[in-house]
Each structure stands twice: as C-alpha cells, then as structure tokens.
Amino acid sequence: MALSEEQLWKELFPETVGGEETATYLFRRCLPRPRDAIQFLKACQETAWLEHGRDRITEADVEQAGRQFSAWKLKDLNSEYLVAHPFLKNLFPLFRNTGYVVTRAALAGRFEAAAESFRHVFPA
C-alpha cells in the first residue's frame, strides 16, 4: 500500500521532532544519499515496531534511531578511512557536544589540549 506524503509525515511519523518539522530534522542529520536516508528512516521504523511494538513512529523513536544512526555513521567513517588515517577514531571526541557547526578556533583549542596524547600514540 502506497503512502501519500501527508500520510507519511503526519500519520506514520510525528509532525515534529525537537520542535522541528520531522522531514527537515531527519534529512539534516544524514548525507544527501538515498542509502543514508533509507537507513535512517528504517532505523526509525524498527525502533518503533521491533523495540516498542508500535505501528506509528514517535518523537522518542526518531531521537533514539538518530543516536543509533549517528553511531553507525561514525563506525562507517572510521572503517572507510582506517588504513590511510589510523588516528581518525581518536579525533571523534574533539567534536562531541559541539553541535553541528564547529569553528576552527574551537577545534584548535580542543586539539591543542589533546595534541600531546595524539603525538604519543601516533608519532608519525
């Protein structure tokens, strides 16, 4: 059975997540690639259906699926660049709790605080 756009975003998904229109919330948090969007939307559905036994997706389901999706993407990123950049996984904490925009100054300050340990673990 095909869903209309209105059914999808007003009946299956909640209208908003965190005060933001749900579609905007979802698509701002994934790369503009169909496979990423599908993976995120499927995670929302599986969270609602498999974990909570619901046929409608709640705001909490979207938020929980978002945390899972984010963890998957970090793991994928690390795996993709592991050979060329073995230190990449160690840089991820520098971006935690910063929002999606990180200024060069903020990153430089965080990196400087961790630089000595990076040099010790990754001397090259």
Percent of the chain with pLDDT over 90: 49
Residues 101 and 57 in one domain: no
Residues 76 and 16 in one domain: yes
- Residue 64 in any domain: the answer is yes
- Our count of domains for the chain comes to 2
Residues 65 and 103 in one domain: no
Amino acid 23: pLDDT: 95
Residues 48 and 75 in one domain: yes
Q: What is the pTM of this model?
A: 0.73
- Residue 1 in any domain: the answer is no
Amino acid 55: pLDDT: 92
CA dist., res. 81 & res. 51, Å (int) = 32
Contact 36, 30 (CB under 8 A): yes
Residues 30 and 72 in one domain: yes
Residues 48 and 72 in one domain: yes
- Residue 2 in any domain: the answer is no
Residues 76 and 92 in one domain: no
- Residue 3 in any domain: the answer is no
Q: What is the dihedral of CA 30, 31, 32, 36, to 10 degrees?
A: -70
Residues 91 and 67 in one domain: no
Amino acid 103: pLDDT: 85
Q: Which domain holds residue 67?
A: 8-81
Query: Of 86 and 57, which is predicted with more confidence?
Result: 57
Which single residue is written with the structure tokens 């903020």?
106
Residues 97 and 75 in one domain: no
Render pLDDT for 60-119 as a digit per residue (tens, 0 to 9): 999 999 999 999 988 888 888 888 888 888 888 888 777 777 888 888 888 888 888 888
Query: CB neighbours (10 Å) of residue 120?
Result: 8
Amino acid 68: pLDDT: 96
Residues 40 and 58 in one domain: yes
Amino acid 91: pLDDT: 82
